Structures are given as C-alpha cells and as structure tokens.
Amino acid sequence: MGLYKRKGSRFWWMTFTADNRRIFQSTKTSSKEIATKICKKREGEIALGLFKVGWPGERMTFAQLCDEFLLSHTPTLSANSQRNHRMFVENLRRFFGNRTLMGVSQRLVEEFRDFRHRQPSERNPKTTIKGATVNRELECLKCMFEFALRGKYLAESPASGVKHFDESRERPARRMLTVEEEHRILQAAPPHLRVAIILLVQTGGRTYSEGLSLRWDQVDLDNLVIHLGGNLKTTESSQPVPLTRLACEVLREWKKEQKPAATYVFPSPRDTNNPLRSVKRSWKTTLTNADVPYFPIYNLRHVFCTRLSLNSEVEVGFM
C-alpha cells in the first residue's frame, strides 16, 4: 500500500490490494499529510474487513434506498410515525435524487440541512422551515443510512457526524399561566374546546393522540381512569391515566350532550364517525378573546406537570 502522484492530477493517489485485486484510488487531496492519513484509514478498513471492492452503494441510488427503506423498515412503526417517515423520505428523495449512496457525503448532507432550513414553510410562507423539522428529517436520513449499513451497502454513514440545529432557540419562552387567565380562557372557549382544555390540564395528556382522539370506550367514569391505546408516542403512554373528580364531572356532563351512539369524545362536526382533527384556529381565537398571549395548546401539558409537582392547590402553573 502506498501513495504516488499521477501525471496530470493535482491529487495524491493510493494503491492497495483488496479481495486479491490491485486497486488505484484518488485521495481527493493535494496535501500529502492528509493523503497519508486517508491511506492509513483505508489500510485499517482492509485489516478489519470493513472495506470491500464494489460496495453495492457504488451502484445503488438514493431513490432506490428510499423505496427499500419504506418497504422494509417503515411498516414496523406506528401509523403516525409511518406518515411522518413517508413525508420525510419524499423531501430527502427530492434533494438527493438519483445520486449513488457512495455519492452522498457528509458535506452534501450538511448542504441539505442548510437548504431545508432556508425553505419557506408550507403553512406560513413568510417564515422558513423550523430547525426542529429539519432535525427530524436528519434523524430519518440517519436511520436510512443505518439501514444501509445493516444491509452492507456502505462502510460508513455520511449522516452520523452532521450537527443538528438547537431547537431550544426556536421555542417560545415558558411563562406563567395564572388561574385567572385559565378562567378567562375557559369562558372564551367554545363548549368542545372548554371540555378539551379541562381534560388536558387535569390529565397532562398529549393534545391529539391522548386528548382529541379519545373514544368513550376508553373512558371509565366509574373507576376514574382513561385507558389509552392505539398510536401513542411511547409505551408508557398506554398506562391507565387517572381522572380527577373535576375532569370526571365535566366528561359526564359532556356525554349527556352527545348522541347515545357517539364513538368519540370529541367527534368531528363534519363526520361524527371520526375524531376532531384540529383545534388550532379555535384555540387561537379563544386566546385572543380571552386577552391571553398566544401559546401552543400542547403547553397545557406543562401546566398539569407543574401543578402536579408543586401541589394541585397552587394558584399558578408553568406552560
């Protein structure tokens, strides 16, 4: 194994033997010091059996990896994760396209990260895509290359060393939610949202997977618990959730107003056979009418957690 200069090339080249074949390869650098390090790294890969002549990744395109990944790996995930994976993979496919897997470098992954962060948001074109969204796509890309590593398509993942965005910089600062503000919100909210707010504050559930998609057969008003199931974010979320007496009383009254055969606690007004999909618009309107600065409804979960850690009788909570 050694280094040499090829006529007409400014780069150092290395020659080595692998699988009984003599291979000549450019180090892609004009620095002899760096070329020597690359050469030693390749020598170590050969010694450990990590280098193979003709990796499948030299011929396999990124688009082909996308198809195989969606077919083999994605079906093992929850329905929500499958939907997110398909969306992430399509964004990745549009950028990396028909490049071979070997043609995807760490530098190219970093270019994708910065490119996506500059793109306008679909929901609000006046803003760019959040770092948190880009981070989820980078995690999906990392998962795809780990899938490729297990399939022996590549020797290493170009996504493993890519730095993510600091999501904490984009999150709004937590503020205090007083009981007075909570009362104003409840007074300004429409009936279905009022019940949902009380349920979320009293149980700490996630807005959609553990709140708005709740079915009546999951609510045990006699034993004061909710039995969650289905597409939950974590396995711990499947544990029974205790109901406070206030939440139980509110749900009892709410059930009286529903149709006897109602399946969902919060049915969609367009199709009662499906749960309510979103309350973003009504939530924003409610905060405006209550004269409370905007915050995501998900943050009601923090209200519950803070009051639980302090005491259920405290007058304020963090959100």
- Burial class (CB within 10 angstroms; exposed 0-12, middle 13-18, buried 19+) of 191: exposed
pLDDT tens digits along 184-217: 999 999 999 999 888 888 777 666 666 788 888 9
Which architecture, in CATH terms, is 58-169?
A: Orthogonal Bundle (1.10)
For the entire predicted model, the pTM comes to 0.58
pLDDT tens digits along 283-296: 999 999 999 988 88
Q: Which of 180, 262, 171 lies closest to 214 in space, CA to CA? A: 262
Q: Domain ranges for the chain, please list them.
A: 2-49, 58-169, 176-318
Beta strand ranges found along the chain (DSSP E): 2-5, 12-18, 21-26, 176-178, 219-220, 225-226, 241-242, 316-318
Protein fold of 176-318: hpI Integrase; Chain A (1.10.443)
pLDDT tens digits along 130-156: 999 999 999 999 999 999 998 888 888
Among 3-17, 42-56, 201-215, 294-308, top mean pLDDT goes to: 3-17
pLDDT tens digits along 59-101: 889 999 999 999 888 888 877 788 888 999 999 999 999 999 9
